[in-house]
Amino acid sequence: MVVGTLFVEVYIPGADSLKEKRQVVKSVVRRVQHRFNVSIAEVNNEDKWQRAQIGVSMVGDDWDHIQRQLQLVINFLDAEPRWEVVRVEMERY
C-alpha cells in the first residue's frame, strides 16, 4: 500500500473576510473531491482571510498512478482563477 500526500498553500487576493475565503475554499474542495476521488481538507490558516493551506491524500498500490493523479490535482488547483498557488509539497509514504 502506498499513500501519497499533497500540501498546497494558496493566496486568495479577493477575499475580504473569512466568509468569502471559506466560500472559495469549500467550493474548490468539493469539486476536487468529486472529480479526483481524493481526501482533501483545509488544514491550517483557518483564521486568515487571504491564505489557505490544503491537504490532499490518496491511497493505492501504484506510486506512479498516485503521483499522476496528484499532479492532476495540482494542475486543477493551479488553474483556479480565484486564487494563486504559492507552495506545493508532494510526499510518498
pLDDT for 49-85, tens place per residue? 899 999 999 999 999 999 999 999 999 999 999 999 9
Cross-strand partners of 6: 56, 90
What pLDDT does 55 receive? 98
Chain mean pLDDT for the chain: 96
Burial 13-36 (b: 16+ CB within 10 A, else e): eebeeeeebeebbeebbeebeeee
Domain ranges of the chain: 2-92
CATH number 3.30.70.1120 is the correct assignment for the domain at 2-92? yes
Lookup: cell for 17:
473576510
User: What pTM was computed for the model?
Assistant: 0.92
What pLDDT shows up at residue 52?
96
